Amino acid sequence: MMGYNPQLNANGELQHLLTIEGLPREIVLHILDTAHSFLLVGEREIKKVPLLRGKAIFNLFFEASTRTRTTFEIAAKRLSADVINLNVGTSSQSKGETLLDTVANLSAMHADMFVVRHSQSGAAHLIARHVAPYIHVINAGDGRHAHPTQGLLDMFTIRHYKKEFAALRVAIVGDVLHSRVARSQIHALTTLGVPAVRVVGPRTLLPSNVSELGVQVYHDMAAGLKDVDVVIMLRLQNERMNGALLPSAQEFFKYYGLTPEKLANAKPDAIVMHPGPMNRGIEIESSVADGRQSVILPQVTFGIAVRMAVMAILAGNA
Amino acid sequence: MSKPLPEAEELLGRLAERMRASVTPDTALIGIHTGGVWLAQRLHNALGLRQPLGTIDVSFYRDDYGSRGLHPKVRPSDIPFDVADADIILVDDVLHTGRTIRAAMNELFDYGRPLSIRLAALIDRGGRQLPIAAQFVGTEVSVADGEQIELKKNEQGRLSLVLNRQAPA
Amino acid sequence: MKIQIKGGRVVDPGSAVEKVQDVFIAAGKVLALGTAPNGFHANRVIDAIGMVVCPGLVDLSARLREPGYEYKATLESEMAAAVAGGVTSLVCPPDTDPPLDEPGLVEMLKHRARSLNQAHVYPLGALTQGLKGERITEMAELLDAGCVAFSQADVPLNDNQVLLRAMQYASTFGYPVWLRPRDAALGRDGVAHDGQVATRLGLAPIPAIAETVALSTILLLVRETGARVHLCRLSTSDGVDMVRQAKSMGIDVTCDVSANHVHLSEMDIGYFDANCHLVPPLRSIRDRDALRRGVQDGTVDAICSDHTPVDEDAKQLPFGESESGATGLELLLALTLKWGEEAKIPLAATLAKVTSEPARILGIRAGAIGLGASADLCVFDPHARWNVEPAKLKSQGKNTPFAGYEMSGKVRFTLVEGHVVYEG
């Protein structure tokens, strides 16, 4: 059962993008290389190519998100596709229609691709298992499990500034336990052969088996950032800040917030990344977020190019 | 049995001479990946053109995406001059059905409105499926349907032509 | 009805009898073994050559879904599933809707079950009213109505004071208390074992300590109250160690494990297979292997099916939203035989885990082929191979993590009180 990969079709080509885990390295690199060309398209005056003309891409967001949905919409439109946005609400019980019924109804409207965001881990896999063979599914974030396009755009960003993965040290800081972004980043970094992937955070915010993902665990931020080339700050969600996981946002900032002093532990040319949206003053100080080492805004631009690449590759496969 | 293929280097020289009278220092050259780019680099030097060389990858404009998907190796398109009001010569290695040129022209127009576009091809093998013609041709060659002419470059940069019996890339 | 079961290999784990011999049944009881009694003329002869004749299986946990959950399954379908699996006695947990905390409900259930003339049903009564964990139920009344023990089903008791009182009360009268060791708070929102699979798949975790912390509390309270406790559905390696130690110290506890946990681990979740969403969760391979060793060395007394039919809609959801549970009555025998074969255990000892041992825990006369005992028997072909096809199961619950597996051992006849209630 584990031999079969639900993301690949019978020819070993990408049929769905559900998670970076289990993606062959060649496919990851292919996406990054293709994204580079789309980045250049984005620098022209006419930022469109006719590749997906006539295709219908449905943004199926069961969990609200304006940012991610907007970048997928821009990416799809730059490929000349038609985009339909559906905010299905956060609970399938609220309308009485099951998740799979919703998908089946939309498939009947001649969708070619679903971009799905859901609050439950595994939702994209479930949908991919049940769509017609010609429909492609892109996971735009499922619960805590995966956010593959974010992981890919983060890799694109790192390659853009650092060129080679082979000798890098990367630190991922913050709430890894609840983060689908972190999981996708870890899989991407290990797939691309980054030798030192570190997670930094308090015990309460790191999964108990996280080292089995191939990462080094640090609880001390100064040690965790020592000589790293890339610092990725994760967003700390409100619900985590006042409960049994963390006493307060202030305490988190004191130990794990990225300030110029803490950043000074990293290499002088280290880049600072954040998937957004940022909580200024909680996980990152404004001077760093807006500083010369921050590549947070370019990440957004890269995100459009990477999503264009994913859609273009998928839509071209049978 | 078809005739042996001509020598690429010799053809290149001939093509350059045919183009020389019709170009000015401001003529812009754009090579189509991959063979067209190699040729365009050599022609750019040979003709002493002032405008920097442009390169174009037509993967995003091809008309066979629906049946064959995205090309496995997409190269970046790089046009470092203003296409608007430019006199452009597209350079390709083998002109066949004309579809690659159609795609290249569509892509070019998404960069701006050129004053003129001409085409230089090392080999014209006939078999046009679209009303496309080259203004500058190295030579005409006839090959069978299942065969493909490929331009190759060795480590020293020397160009040569080979005949393949396989589906086109 | 006089029945002769001819030529089968009679295996009675409780009495260590294992012999090819005929079985003679009359008036619902086993009349004789081996030689026909004088003047015995069979109304029916069952050809059991090449088959095994064993006591009907005693399943310590099977949800029948009545009352209240008839859209998931009915007594008719699940009782048919039971006898198709060779099960002649089963225990059903009290988490029906409403829960079995009223004698009237228990009587109705028993009456309904009896009228189907299939397996014997032994309901567990709710330990606390509404299973809410606040006030203890009228245990004497419930016992009179037919309950065999008292349980909280899967609902954790988060007030240790209430648990203590309930156990003290039960122990006053010698009533058994069946408890699932699960802490009310640790991993309360979890859906999968806190291990590498939950970490990779981003599933809310249930740590092993959710079981062992509760187990530790229960064992201490057993020592304190002398209550007769049966521990339901162990899932952790540490849990098995704790029970082993408790038994060696003379603490009188028994425990069971589900057939699912004997074979599967967290790895079987694969790409979010909701059929592997179980309570307790499937844990690590190390835990599974410890459970298997526990069954083998007797620390774990019995294997049960933990049969839980779930409707398809409730499974076709993202893992965390799906309903937990697996159908299992029809797989209990084959899964137990599979374990015995893999562990290289003799057939009698293997079958004991689903016959004589659960009967002993229940304190009922069952799980044995004794002269004069009720003829509750299972005749199965140990060599018959079959594939698990959910659509072909008699249970309304098609939710099995073993779909597509090849099994060995198929029930051919099931008898309850001397009547053939299933022929396959």
Residue of A92, A100, A143 lying closest to C320 (CB–CB): A143
Nearest-angstrom CA–CA distance, A24 and A27: 5
Q: For residue A4, give how far its alpha carbon lies from the nearest alpha carbon of chain C (Å).
A: 10
Catalytic residue among C306, C313, C376, C381: C306
List chain B residues with CB under 8 Å of A306. Answer: none
Q: What is the mean pLDDT of residues A140-165?
A: 97
pLDDT given for residue A1 in this prediction? 42
- Per cent of chain C over pLDDT 70 is 100
Higher pLDDT, B147 or C73: B147
pLDDT tens digits for range A54-68: 999 999 999 888 899
Report the pLDDT value the prediction gives residue A91, as an integer from 0 to 100: 44
Token representation of residue C28 = 């619902």
In A, minimum Cα distance to C272 occurs at A122
Which member of C194, C198, C200 has the closest CB to residue A213? C200
Which structure tokens are listed for A271? 């880049």
* Rounded-to-integer distance, Cα C356 and Cα A167, Å: 63
Chain C nearest-CA distance from A273, in A, is 22
Mean pLDDT of all residues in B27-44 = 95
- Subunit contact B74:A50, Cβ cutoff 8 A: no
**Mean pLDDT, rounded, of chain A:** 93
Inter-chain contact A118–C318, Cβ cutoff 8 Å?
Answer: yes
Percentage of residues of chain B with pLDDT beyond 70: 96
Could you report the per-residue pLDDT of A215-260, keeping only the tens digit for each? 999 999 999 999 999 999 999 987 766 667 888 888 999 999 999 9
Give pLDDT, residue C68: 86
Chain A positions touching B70 (Cβ under 8 A) are 34, 51, 312-313, 316
| ipTM > 0.90 (yes/no) | yes
Please work out, in degrees rounded to the nearest 5, the angle formed at the alpha carbon of residue A24 by the alpha carbons of A21 and A28. Answer: 85
Q: Which of B65-79, B84-98, C387-401 has the lowest mean pLDDT?
A: B65-79
Cβ-Cβ contacts under 8 Å, C198 against chain A: 207, 209
Q: Contact C205/A207, CB-based, under 8 Å?
A: yes
Q: Is A43 on the interface with B (CB under 8 A)?
A: no
- Proportion of chain B above pLDDT 90, given as a percent: 85
In three-state secondary structure terms, B51 is coil
Read off φ and ψ for residue A181, nearest 5 degrees.
-65, -45
Q: What pLDDT score does B3 carry? A: 64
Closest by Cβ to A34, choosing from B65, B74, B110:
B74
pLDDT tens for each residue of C354-381? 999 999 999 999 999 989 999 999 999 9
What is the C-alpha to C-alpha distance for residues C345 and C303, in angstroms, rounded to an integer?
Answer: 15
Q: Note whether B60 contacts A316, CB cutoff 8 Å.
A: no
Could A49 and B60 be called an inter-chain contact, meaning their C-beta atoms sit closer than 8 Å? yes
Global pTM value: 0.92
CA gap C84, C416 in Å, rounded? 12
B154: exposed, middle or buried (C-beta count within 10 Å: 0-12, 13-18, 19+)?
A: exposed
Q: Which of B109, B110, B111 to mutate to test the interface with A (most CBs of A within 10 A)?
A: B110
Q: Which C-chain residues 267-296 have CB contacts (< 8 A) with chain A?
A: 267-268, 270-272
Number of other CB atoms surrounding residue A26 within 10 Å: 10
So what's the pLDDT on residue A93? Answer: 44
- Which of A37, A113, A160, A311 would you mutate first to test chain B, the one with the most B CBs within 10 A? A37
Task: Say if the Cβ atoms of A46 and B111 lie within 8 Å.
Answer: yes
Instruction: Summarize pLDDT for C107-122 with one digit per residue, the tens.
Output: 999 999 999 999 999 9
Residue C306 a catalytic site member: yes
> What pLDDT was estimated at residue A3?
64
CA A154 to chain centre: 7
Give contacts of B 75-114 with A, CB under 8 A: 75-78, 106-107, 110-112
pLDDT, mean of residues C135-152: 95
Span C246-260, average pLDDT: 97
pLDDT, position B1: 46
* Residue B65 near chain A (CB below 8 Å): yes
CA C22 to CA C5: how far, in whole Å?
Answer: 6
Q: Residues for chain C: how many in total? A: 424
Amino acid at C115: S
At a CB cut-off of 8 Å and minimum separation 6, what does C256 contact? C60, C61, C230, C231, C232, C233, C234, C300, C301, C302, C303, C304, C358, C361
Inter-chain contact B76–A13, Cβ cutoff 8 Å? no
Strand arrangement of the beta sheet that strand C377-387 belongs to: C17-20, C9-12, C52-55, C377-387, C406-416, C419-423
CA-based torsion, B68, B70, B76, B82: positive or negative: positive
Average pLDDT estimate for C394-404: 96
Predicted confidence band of residue C405 (pLDDT cuts 50, 70, 90):
very high
For residue C3, give every residue at least 6 positions away whose Cβ sits within 8 Å of its Cβ, in sequence order, or none.
Answer: C24, C25, C26, C42, C43, C44, C45, C46, C375, C415, C418, C420
The predicted-structure confidence for C18-41, as pLDDT tens digits, reads as follows 999 999 999 999 999 999 999 999
